[in-house]
């Protein structure tokens, strides 16, 4: 009989957690059981899954006993506290926070890019940052044909990157502004509705914020290219869901835009959206709820003979977070790389 797995979602009531629930059902993941974990304030709630109401439990000592795979999306401090305990209990943890991404022995995985790196995990696999995942899908097919020497990225990041409450905050701000009232900011440092500002993560001594450095360091690790030159400017924009990115690539030799388009049309997880006559290219409103990263406006860089420009949009909650995590779990199941407990047999 086919094997099935005992799965726990850590952070089940958040925006990514609820998306994980939907994806496990949509993709018919081989479940023997499903446990929903969250903070004590969420304990006692129920969430719908395949016609059933599943209870949410408080994360506590012993809660990972009997679990094969943990899909964690509850923030870095929570992952640091609980992921090692889950591994000790015999589970494999796929973590969506930044807690373990740059730990050398922890694989950082985008299944369409570096699946083989997941094989020798030691119990924890890290999900990259949303902007890194989206960009990786768009540039990896080109990098395989002709190695990229330099990446310049400008991101246009939606409120969804800060969670469900941030999305609601932007809606409230927009309503207030349209009524002539003051727009109040609580989760963001400034009102985001009808506004934009550089990403508000902490700045380093060079003036780059944490979000920008994630793109630099994570791309190098995923591509196994520690000397790859990457620079990013990350901006929060008044879009509810789905991030956008303007990418400039530099190669050692010219790379024809037509060839790049052909490669991207064949790339897994990518949909090319281009109608030059209609000036129609990827938009976050159309990428919302979709699994693929939408790529378009592929063109030569007028300022550099060996440069390419492209534009992309992708759903931050799906491919930028939950979908990538579920795909990693599917990879582990397919390759029999789930470490620890033996999977249960489905009844």
11 labelled as ligand-binding? no
CB 69 within 8 A of CB 92: yes
163 labelled as ligand-binding? no
122 labelled as ligand-binding? no
160 labelled as ligand-binding? yes
CB 142 within 8 A of CB 308: yes
Catalytic residue among 121, 143, 199, 243: 243
161 labelled as ligand-binding? yes
Q: Which helix (H) or strand (E) holds 240?
A: none
> CA 42 from chain center: how many Å?
24
146 labelled as ligand-binding? no
4 labelled as ligand-binding? no
**Cα–Cα nearest to 247, from 261, 263, 231:** 231
Catalytic residue among 63, 130, 234, 313: 130
Catalytic (active site) residue 130:
yes
101 labelled as ligand-binding? yes
Helix (H), strand (E), coil (C) string for 111-165? CCCCHHHHCCCCCEEECCCHHHHHHHHHHHHHHHHCCEEEEEEEEEECHHHHCHH
CB 249 within 8 A of CB 312: no
Rounded to an integer, what distance in angstroms lies between the CA atom of residue 213 and that of residue 216? 5
3 labelled as ligand-binding? no
207 labelled as ligand-binding? no
Rounded to an integer, what distance in angstroms lies between the CA atom of residue 161 and that of residue 315? 10
Residues listed for the chain: 347
Sign of CA dihedral 143, 146, 152, 153: negative
Tell me the C-alpha to C-alpha distance, in Å, between residue 130 and each of 21, 41, 166, 241, 244.
19, 27, 16, 12, 11
CB 13 within 8 A of CB 318: no
Q: Is 57 helix (H, G, I), strand (E, B) or coil?
A: strand
Catalytic (active site) residue 243:
yes
173 labelled as ligand-binding? no
Strands 270-272 and 243-251, bridge-based pairing: unpaired
Rounded to an integer, what distance in angstroms lies between the CA atom of residue 142 and that of residue 122? 31
Sign of CA dihedral 274, 235, 222, 205: positive
175 labelled as ligand-binding? no
Residues placed in the known binding site for substrate: 157, 236
Residues placed in the known binding site for NADP(+): 13-16, 41-42, 160-161, 316
Residues designated catalytic: 130, 243
Residues placed in the known binding site: 13-16, 41-42, 101, 157, 160-161, 236, 316
Residues placed in the known binding site for phosphate: 101
């Amino acid at each position: 009989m086919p094997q099935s797995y005992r799965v726990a979602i850590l952070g089940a009531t958040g925006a990514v957690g609820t998306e994980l629930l939907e994806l496990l059902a949509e993709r018919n993941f081989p479940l023997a059981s499903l446990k929903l974990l969250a903070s004590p304030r969420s304990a006692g709630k129920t969430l719908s899954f395949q016609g059933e109401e599943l209870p949410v439990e408080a994360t506590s000592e012993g809660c990972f006993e009997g679990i094969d795979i943990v899909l964690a999306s509850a923030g870095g401090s929570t992952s640091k506290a609980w992921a090692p305990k889950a591994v000790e209990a015999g589970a494999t943890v796929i973590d969506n926070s930044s807690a373990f991404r740059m730990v050398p022995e922890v694989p950082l995985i985008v299944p369409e890019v570096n699946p083989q790196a997941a094989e020798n995990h030691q119990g924890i696999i890290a999900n990259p940052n949303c902007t890194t995942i989206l960009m990786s899908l768009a540039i990896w097919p080109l990098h395989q044909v002709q190695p990229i020497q330099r990446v310049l990225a400008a991101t246009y990041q939606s409120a969804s990157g800060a969670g469900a409450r941030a999305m609601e905050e932007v809606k409230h701000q927009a309503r207030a502004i349209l009524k002539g009232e003051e727009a109040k900011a609580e989760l963001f440092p400034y009102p985001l509705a009808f506004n934009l500002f550089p990403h508000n993560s902490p700045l380093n001594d060079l003036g780059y914020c944490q979000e920008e450095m994630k793109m630099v360091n994570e791309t190098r690790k995923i591509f196994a290219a520690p000397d790859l030159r990457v620079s990013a400017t990350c901006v929060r924009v008044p879009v509810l869901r789905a991030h956008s990115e303007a990418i400039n690539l530099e190669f050692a030799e010219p790379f024809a835009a037509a060839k790049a388009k052909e490669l991207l049309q064949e790339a897994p997880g990518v949909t090319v959206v281009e109608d030059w006559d209609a000036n129609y290219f990827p938009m976050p409103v159309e990428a919302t709820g979709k699994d693929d990263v939408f790529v378009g406006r592929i063109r030569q860089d007028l300022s550099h003979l060996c440069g390419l420009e492209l534009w992309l949009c992708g759903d931050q909650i799906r491919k930028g977070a939950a979908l990538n995590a579920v795909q990693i779990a599917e990879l582990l199941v397919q390759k029999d790389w789930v470490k620890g407990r033996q999977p249960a047999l489905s009844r």
